[in-house]
Amino acid sequence: MNVKLINYTANPIETAFVAARTCYSGDGPEKLWELSISDGENKIPEEKMHSLLDKVIASGHLSVLEHISFTFAIEGISRACSHQLVRHRIANFSQQSQRYVSIKRDAFVIPSTIKANREARKIFDELIDSAKSAYDKLVELGIPKEDARFVIPNAAKTNIVMTMNFRELYNVCQIRLCTRAQWEIRTLFWKIKGELAKVEELKGLADYLQPKCVILGYCPEHRSCGLYPTREEVVGDDS
């Protein structure tokens, strides 16, 4: 799996700050924007912007985060994973099509439980070989790619360009960074968080991306993985 942040809203903190300030200010957003990005002495200090963002996120007033978007190049996740990923509806996906693009021999994801088990690995490799071989024969017989791909297993790799705004990324990470999430999509979102953390001006935003227990202060699931106590243990059973 290869994840690369290829594009994002320039001046993201400034953009969210100007949006948040516009709600409570007599000043217009154009002036607020100039004060935010200027180099002059009237420039709004960065700490002030960060502090406002902290406050709106802590109290759950998240809509200003939607002004910030991120575009990721996601390569080599399995079709099992991509099927889960595209269930997130507040995002945009452009995905490699199996109707048009031929399947390559090496383009399959191997789960680590299978990698770690010699016998399982053998079964897996043989099936992948059979599937690839069946696919090639079907195409040779004149079966259209869009039908030949019916023999291709879930393990097949796919590529996706995904654009997601920061509010949705904050929400999705609560679910997908959780230890209960399926391993491949969990890995994907930890890599996504990692991509933000690599960029100096996005480090602060990366810190907001956390599994839901960290956000809530407890685990809302029936059983906790142990990282946090359950809701009942923390707030009692008042509901």
- The single-letter DSSP state of residue 201 is G
Nearer to its own copies, 76 or 204 (CB): 76
Of the candidates 35, 46, 96, 190, which one interacts with its own copies according to CB under 8 A? 96
The answer to whether 3 and 187 have CB atoms below 8 angstroms apart is no
Token match 């960065």: residue?
46
The CB-based long-range contact list for 214-219 (8 Å cut-off, 24+ gap) reads 215/174
Which residues in the 97-116 window bind its own copies by CB under 8 A? 97-102, 104, 108-111, 113-114
Which residues in the 180-219 window bind its own copies by CB under 8 A? 182, 212, 214-218
Of the candidates 39, 41, 47, 238, which one interacts with its own copies according to CB under 8 A? 238
Residues in the chain: 239
Alpha carbons 56 and 204: distance in angstroms, whole number:
14
Task: Pick the piece of the chain touching its own copies (CB under 8 A) from 11-19, 40-48, 190-198.
Answer: 11-19
- The single-letter DSSP state of residue 230 is B
Nearer to its own copies, 46 or 229 (CB): 229
Query: What phi and psi values does residue 177 have, to the nearest 5 degrees?
Result: -85, -10
Which residues in the 64-83 window bind its own copies by CB under 8 A? 64, 66-67, 69, 71, 73-76, 78-80, 82-83
Q: How many CB atoms lie within 10 A of CB 95?
A: 15
The answer to whether 53 and 17 have CB atoms below 8 angstroms apart is yes
Nearer to its own copies, 19 or 177 (CB): 19
Which residues in the 113-172 window bind its own copies by CB under 8 A? 113-114, 117, 119-120, 123-124, 126-128, 130-131, 134, 137-138, 141-144, 146-147, 149-155, 159-161, 163, 165
Q: Which of 149, 176, 186, 231 is catalytic?
A: 176
Cβ of residue 168: shortest distance to its own copies, in angstroms?
11
Cβ of residue 47: shortest distance to its own copies, in angstroms?
18
Work out whether strand 69-78 and strand 92-95 pair parallel, antiparallel, or are unpaired: unpaired
Q: How many CA atoms lie within 13 A of 171 on its CB side?
A: 14
- Active site (annotated) includes residue 79: no
- Could you tell me which of 99, 97, 78 has the C-alpha nearest to residue 153? 78
Cβ of residue 45: shortest distance to its own copies, in angstroms?
20
- Could you tell me which of 24, 46, 50 has the C-alpha nearest to residue 35? 46
Cβ of residue 124: shortest distance to its own copies, in angstroms?
6
Which residues in the 16-55 window bind its own copies by CB under 8 A? 18-20, 22-26, 28-30, 33, 55
Catalytic residue ranges: 176
